[in-house]
Amino acid sequence: MRLPDTVALVTGAGSGIGRAIALRFAAEGARVVAAGPTLAKVEETAGLVAEAGGEAVAVFCDVTDPAAVVAAVAAANSAFGPVSVLVNNAGGSFGDDILEIDPETWDRNFDLVLKSVYHCCRATLPAMIERRRGSIVNIASVNGMTGIGEEAYAAAKAGMINLTQNLAIKYGRFGVRANTVAPATIRTPIWDARLAERPTAFDDLARWYPLGRVGEPEEVAHAALFLASDEASWITGITLPVDGGLLAGSYRMNVDLSG
Ligand SMILES: NC(=O)c1ccc[n+]([C@@H]2O[C@H](COP(=O)([O-])OP(=O)(O)OC[C@H]3O[C@@H](n4cnc5c(N)ncnc54)[C@H](O)[C@@H]3O)[C@@H](O)[C@H]2O)c1
Protein backbone atom coordinates (compact mmCIF):
# COMPACT_ATOMS: atom_id res chain seq x y z
CA MET A 1 0.00 0.00 0.00
CA ARG A 2 1.40 3.34 -1.04
CA LEU A 3 -0.98 5.55 0.96
CA PRO A 4 -1.21 4.03 4.44
CA ASP A 5 -2.83 6.06 7.27
CA THR A 6 -3.95 8.61 4.73
CA VAL A 7 -7.12 10.65 4.52
CA ALA A 8 -7.32 12.07 1.01
CA LEU A 9 -9.74 14.81 0.06
CA VAL A 10 -10.26 14.90 -3.70
CA THR A 11 -12.25 17.78 -5.17
CA GLY A 12 -14.22 17.28 -8.36
CA ALA A 13 -14.23 13.55 -7.61
CA GLY A 14 -17.52 12.83 -9.37
CA SER A 15 -16.05 12.29 -12.82
CA GLY A 16 -12.96 12.10 -15.01
CA ILE A 17 -9.56 12.60 -13.44
CA GLY A 18 -10.95 13.18 -9.92
CA ARG A 19 -12.83 9.89 -10.00
CA ALA A 20 -9.74 8.05 -11.29
CA ILE A 21 -7.67 9.60 -8.48
CA ALA A 22 -10.24 8.61 -5.86
CA LEU A 23 -10.23 5.01 -7.10
CA ARG A 24 -6.44 4.80 -7.39
CA PHE A 25 -5.78 6.36 -3.99
CA ALA A 26 -8.34 4.12 -2.29
CA ALA A 27 -6.75 1.08 -3.94
CA GLU A 28 -3.49 2.14 -2.29
CA GLY A 29 -5.04 2.27 1.19
CA ALA A 30 -6.19 5.89 1.46
CA ARG A 31 -9.54 6.68 3.01
CA VAL A 32 -10.98 8.94 0.36
CA VAL A 33 -13.28 11.90 0.74
CA ALA A 34 -14.87 12.33 -2.68
CA ALA A 35 -16.03 15.94 -2.88
CA GLY A 36 -18.10 17.57 -5.57
CA PRO A 37 -21.01 19.88 -6.36
CA THR A 38 -23.35 17.06 -7.50
CA LEU A 39 -23.85 14.66 -4.61
CA ALA A 40 -25.14 11.85 -6.85
CA LYS A 41 -21.89 11.89 -8.87
CA VAL A 42 -19.58 11.75 -5.84
CA GLU A 43 -21.79 9.08 -4.28
CA GLU A 44 -21.31 7.08 -7.47
CA THR A 45 -17.53 7.46 -7.06
CA ALA A 46 -17.70 6.40 -3.40
CA GLY A 47 -19.78 3.39 -4.49
CA LEU A 48 -17.16 2.40 -7.07
CA VAL A 49 -14.45 2.68 -4.41
CA ALA A 50 -16.47 0.45 -2.06
CA GLU A 51 -17.10 -2.09 -4.86
CA ALA A 52 -13.34 -2.29 -5.35
CA GLY A 53 -12.86 -2.95 -1.63
CA GLY A 54 -11.77 0.56 -0.62
CA GLU A 55 -13.06 3.16 1.80
CA ALA A 56 -14.66 6.43 0.71
CA VAL A 57 -17.30 8.93 1.72
CA ALA A 58 -19.05 11.35 -0.58
CA VAL A 59 -19.43 14.97 0.49
CA PHE A 60 -21.05 17.93 -1.18
CA CYS A 61 -18.55 20.65 -1.96
CA ASP A 62 -18.71 23.67 -4.23
CA VAL A 63 -15.06 24.76 -4.16
CA THR A 64 -15.97 28.33 -5.08
CA ASP A 65 -17.85 28.70 -1.78
CA PRO A 66 -15.52 29.01 1.23
CA ALA A 67 -18.26 28.00 3.69
CA ALA A 68 -19.00 24.85 1.67
CA VAL A 69 -15.28 24.01 1.64
CA VAL A 70 -15.03 24.42 5.42
CA ALA A 71 -18.12 22.21 5.83
CA ALA A 72 -16.66 19.54 3.52
CA VAL A 73 -13.39 19.48 5.46
CA ALA A 74 -15.36 19.19 8.73
CA ALA A 75 -17.32 16.27 7.23
CA ALA A 76 -14.04 14.63 6.15
CA ASN A 77 -12.70 15.11 9.66
CA SER A 78 -15.68 13.48 11.34
CA ALA A 79 -15.74 10.59 8.85
CA PHE A 80 -12.06 9.71 8.81
CA GLY A 81 -10.00 12.26 10.80
CA PRO A 82 -7.74 15.07 9.62
CA VAL A 83 -7.02 15.38 5.89
CA SER A 84 -3.39 14.51 5.12
CA VAL A 85 -3.63 14.60 1.32
CA LEU A 86 -5.49 17.31 -0.57
CA VAL A 87 -6.02 16.98 -4.31
CA ASN A 88 -7.26 20.21 -5.86
CA ASN A 89 -8.74 18.72 -9.00
CA ALA A 90 -12.06 20.53 -9.49
CA GLY A 91 -11.94 22.62 -12.61
CA GLY A 92 -13.46 23.74 -15.84
CA SER A 93 -12.90 26.28 -18.56
CA PHE A 94 -15.26 29.01 -19.71
CA GLY A 95 -14.88 31.28 -22.73
CA ASP A 96 -11.77 31.76 -24.81
CA ASP A 97 -10.38 34.80 -26.67
CA ILE A 98 -9.83 37.79 -24.39
CA LEU A 99 -11.51 40.09 -26.91
CA GLU A 100 -14.69 38.07 -26.56
CA ILE A 101 -14.71 36.91 -22.97
CA ASP A 102 -16.76 39.11 -20.62
CA PRO A 103 -15.44 40.08 -17.18
CA GLU A 104 -17.88 37.80 -15.33
CA THR A 105 -16.75 34.77 -17.34
CA TRP A 106 -13.13 35.74 -16.80
CA ASP A 107 -13.76 35.81 -13.02
CA ARG A 108 -15.63 32.50 -13.18
CA ASN A 109 -12.47 30.78 -14.44
CA PHE A 110 -10.38 32.31 -11.68
CA ASP A 111 -12.94 31.47 -8.98
CA LEU A 112 -13.16 27.83 -9.99
CA VAL A 113 -9.55 27.13 -10.93
CA LEU A 114 -7.47 29.35 -8.65
CA LYS A 115 -9.42 30.88 -5.79
CA SER A 116 -10.77 27.41 -5.00
CA VAL A 117 -7.22 26.27 -4.23
CA TYR A 118 -6.86 29.16 -1.80
CA HIS A 119 -10.13 28.13 -0.08
CA CYS A 120 -9.22 24.44 0.10
CA CYS A 121 -5.68 25.06 1.33
CA ARG A 122 -6.86 27.46 4.03
CA ALA A 123 -9.32 24.85 5.24
CA THR A 124 -6.85 21.94 5.37
CA LEU A 125 -3.37 23.42 5.95
CA PRO A 126 -3.71 24.20 9.68
CA ALA A 127 -4.26 20.52 10.58
CA MET A 128 -1.45 19.47 8.22
CA ILE A 129 0.92 21.96 9.84
CA GLU A 130 -0.12 20.96 13.34
CA ARG A 131 0.45 17.27 12.58
CA ARG A 132 3.60 17.97 10.53
CA ARG A 133 2.13 15.88 7.76
CA GLY A 134 0.58 16.91 4.49
CA SER A 135 0.78 16.53 0.75
CA ILE A 136 -1.08 18.82 -1.62
CA VAL A 137 -1.43 17.84 -5.28
CA ASN A 138 -2.84 20.45 -7.59
CA ILE A 139 -4.17 19.44 -10.98
CA ALA A 140 -3.22 22.29 -13.30
CA SER A 141 -2.83 21.97 -17.09
CA VAL A 142 -0.28 22.34 -19.86
CA ASN A 143 -2.37 25.41 -20.74
CA GLY A 144 -0.85 27.02 -17.64
CA MET A 145 2.69 26.37 -18.92
CA THR A 146 2.55 27.58 -22.51
CA GLY A 147 0.20 29.36 -24.92
CA ILE A 148 -2.47 27.00 -26.23
CA GLY A 149 -5.57 29.18 -25.81
CA GLU A 150 -8.44 29.40 -23.31
CA GLU A 151 -6.76 32.48 -21.89
CA ALA A 152 -8.59 32.94 -18.59
CA TYR A 153 -8.46 29.24 -17.72
CA ALA A 154 -4.78 29.13 -18.73
CA ALA A 155 -3.85 32.19 -16.67
CA ALA A 156 -5.67 30.73 -13.66
CA LYS A 157 -3.81 27.42 -14.09
CA ALA A 158 -0.51 29.33 -14.33
CA GLY A 159 -1.48 31.02 -11.06
CA MET A 160 -2.12 27.61 -9.56
CA ILE A 161 1.41 26.54 -10.47
CA ASN A 162 2.89 29.60 -8.78
CA LEU A 163 0.68 29.23 -5.72
CA THR A 164 1.90 25.63 -5.43
CA GLN A 165 5.51 26.82 -5.45
CA ASN A 166 4.78 29.28 -2.65
CA LEU A 167 2.98 26.61 -0.63
CA ALA A 168 6.05 24.41 -1.10
CA ILE A 169 8.54 26.98 0.13
CA LYS A 170 6.40 28.24 3.01
CA TYR A 171 5.19 24.99 4.51
CA GLY A 172 7.95 22.52 3.69
CA ARG A 173 9.50 23.13 7.10
CA PHE A 174 6.20 22.07 8.66
CA GLY A 175 6.22 18.73 6.86
CA VAL A 176 3.86 19.79 4.10
CA ARG A 177 4.71 19.20 0.42
CA ALA A 178 2.88 20.77 -2.53
CA ASN A 179 3.23 19.75 -6.16
CA THR A 180 1.41 20.21 -9.44
CA VAL A 181 0.42 17.75 -12.12
CA ALA A 182 -0.09 19.38 -15.52
CA PRO A 183 -2.13 17.16 -17.83
CA ALA A 184 -2.60 17.73 -21.55
CA THR A 185 -5.60 16.29 -23.42
CA ILE A 186 -7.20 13.60 -21.25
CA ARG A 187 -10.28 11.63 -22.26
CA THR A 188 -12.84 12.90 -19.70
CA PRO A 189 -16.31 14.47 -19.67
CA ILE A 190 -14.71 17.94 -19.78
CA TRP A 191 -14.53 17.34 -23.54
CA ASP A 192 -18.17 16.28 -23.99
CA ALA A 193 -19.42 19.58 -25.43
CA ARG A 194 -16.51 19.87 -27.85
CA LEU A 195 -16.84 16.22 -28.90
CA ALA A 196 -20.52 16.80 -29.61
CA GLU A 197 -19.52 19.57 -32.01
CA ARG A 198 -16.50 17.78 -33.40
CA PRO A 199 -16.60 14.01 -32.89
CA THR A 200 -13.07 13.56 -34.27
CA ALA A 201 -11.54 15.97 -31.72
CA PHE A 202 -9.43 13.34 -29.92
CA ASP A 203 -8.14 11.85 -33.18
CA ASP A 204 -7.36 15.33 -34.50
CA LEU A 205 -5.56 16.27 -31.30
CA ALA A 206 -3.62 12.99 -31.22
CA ARG A 207 -1.62 14.30 -34.20
CA TRP A 208 0.02 16.88 -31.91
CA TYR A 209 1.30 14.32 -29.43
CA PRO A 210 4.68 12.59 -29.79
CA LEU A 211 3.09 9.53 -28.16
CA GLY A 212 0.41 9.58 -30.85
CA ARG A 213 -2.72 9.60 -28.69
CA VAL A 214 -4.57 11.53 -26.01
CA GLY A 215 -4.23 10.51 -22.36
CA GLU A 216 -6.49 8.57 -20.01
CA PRO A 217 -7.60 9.73 -16.54
CA GLU A 218 -5.77 6.82 -14.89
CA GLU A 219 -2.48 8.11 -16.32
CA VAL A 220 -2.97 11.36 -14.39
CA ALA A 221 -3.97 9.39 -11.30
CA HIS A 222 -0.65 7.48 -11.40
CA ALA A 223 1.30 10.76 -11.34
CA ALA A 224 -0.88 12.22 -8.59
CA LEU A 225 -0.40 9.05 -6.54
CA PHE A 226 3.36 9.28 -6.78
CA LEU A 227 3.41 12.94 -5.72
CA ALA A 228 0.91 12.37 -2.90
CA SER A 229 2.80 9.39 -1.50
CA ASP A 230 5.94 9.16 0.62
CA GLU A 231 7.77 7.93 -2.49
CA ALA A 232 7.95 11.66 -3.34
CA SER A 233 9.10 12.56 0.19
CA TRP A 234 11.87 14.87 -1.09
CA ILE A 235 9.92 16.39 -3.94
CA THR A 236 8.08 19.64 -3.45
CA GLY A 237 7.18 22.62 -5.61
CA ILE A 238 7.47 20.81 -8.92
CA THR A 239 5.16 20.73 -11.91
CA LEU A 240 4.96 17.31 -13.52
CA PRO A 241 3.55 17.34 -17.04
CA VAL A 242 1.48 14.29 -17.96
CA ASP A 243 1.29 15.26 -21.58
CA GLY A 244 2.31 12.54 -24.04
CA GLY A 245 5.41 14.62 -24.82
CA LEU A 246 3.52 17.76 -25.87
CA LEU A 247 5.83 20.15 -24.02
CA ALA A 248 9.02 18.36 -25.05
CA GLY A 249 9.28 20.39 -28.24
CA SER A 250 7.61 21.29 -31.51
CA TYR A 251 6.63 17.83 -32.63
CA ARG A 252 4.47 18.94 -35.57
CA MET A 253 7.26 21.22 -36.82
CA ASN A 254 9.66 18.31 -36.66
CA VAL A 255 7.21 16.09 -38.58
CA ASP A 256 6.76 18.81 -41.24
CA LEU A 257 10.53 19.33 -41.51
CA SER A 258 11.41 15.68 -41.74
CA GLY A 259 8.46 14.83 -44.00
N1 LIG B 1 -9.34 16.43 -19.47
C2 LIG B 1 -8.37 17.22 -19.88
O3 LIG B 1 -8.03 17.24 -21.08
C4 LIG B 1 -7.63 18.10 -18.90
C5 LIG B 1 -6.41 18.65 -19.30
C6 LIG B 1 -5.71 19.47 -18.41
C7 LIG B 1 -6.22 19.71 -17.16
N8 LIG B 1 -7.41 19.16 -16.79
C9 LIG B 1 -7.91 19.46 -15.44
O10 LIG B 1 -8.24 18.27 -14.77
C11 LIG B 1 -9.21 18.56 -13.77
C12 LIG B 1 -10.32 17.53 -13.85
O13 LIG B 1 -11.02 17.67 -15.07
P14 LIG B 1 -11.55 16.44 -15.92
O15 LIG B 1 -10.83 16.44 -17.17
O16 LIG B 1 -11.57 15.22 -15.09
O17 LIG B 1 -13.03 16.93 -16.27
P18 LIG B 1 -14.41 16.64 -15.58
O19 LIG B 1 -15.36 17.63 -16.16
O20 LIG B 1 -14.75 15.20 -15.65
O21 LIG B 1 -14.10 16.99 -14.05
C22 LIG B 1 -14.19 18.26 -13.50
C23 LIG B 1 -14.80 18.08 -12.13
O24 LIG B 1 -14.82 19.33 -11.45
C25 LIG B 1 -16.04 19.40 -10.77
N26 LIG B 1 -16.41 20.77 -10.48
C27 LIG B 1 -16.80 21.72 -11.36
N28 LIG B 1 -17.15 22.83 -10.69
C29 LIG B 1 -16.97 22.56 -9.37
C30 LIG B 1 -17.17 23.29 -8.19
N31 LIG B 1 -17.62 24.56 -8.21
N32 LIG B 1 -16.88 22.71 -7.01
C33 LIG B 1 -16.41 21.44 -6.97
N34 LIG B 1 -16.21 20.69 -8.05
C35 LIG B 1 -16.49 21.25 -9.24
C36 LIG B 1 -17.05 18.72 -11.65
O37 LIG B 1 -18.20 18.32 -10.92
C38 LIG B 1 -16.25 17.58 -12.22
O39 LIG B 1 -16.40 16.42 -11.44
C40 LIG B 1 -9.69 19.99 -14.01
O41 LIG B 1 -9.05 20.85 -13.10
C42 LIG B 1 -9.20 20.28 -15.43
O43 LIG B 1 -8.97 21.64 -15.64
C44 LIG B 1 -8.14 18.36 -17.62
Span 226-253, pLDDT tens digits: 999 999 999 999 999 999 999 999 999 9
For residue 114, how far is its CA from the centre of ligand 1 (angstroms)?
13
For residue 113, how far is its CA from the centre of ligand 1 (angstroms)?
9
- Give mean pLDDT, residues 208-216: 98
pTM to 2 decimal places: 0.99
Closest atom of ligand 1 to CA, residue 214: 3
- Domains of the chain: which residue ranges? 7-258
Q: 79 falls in which pLDDT band (50, 70, 90)? A: very high
Closest atom of ligand 1 to CA, residue 68: 32
% of residues, the chain, pLDDT over 70: 100
Q: What is the pLDDT of residue 137?
A: 99
The H or E element containing residue 120 is helix 116-131
- Cα separation, 227 vs 86, in Å, equals 11
Q: Is the CB of 54 under 6 A from ligand 1?
A: no
| Strand 55-60 versus strand 7-11 pairing type | unpaired
| Residue 60: strand pairing partners | 36
For residue 1, how far is its CA from the centre of ligand 1 (angstroms)?
27
Q: Which of 191, 185, 63, 178 is nearest to 116 (CA)?
A: 63
DSSP 114: I
Report the CATH superfamily, name and number, of domain 7-258. Answer: NAD(P)-binding Rossmann-like Domain (3.40.50.720)
Ligand 1, pocket-test mutation among 9, 10, 17, most atoms within 8 A of CB: 17
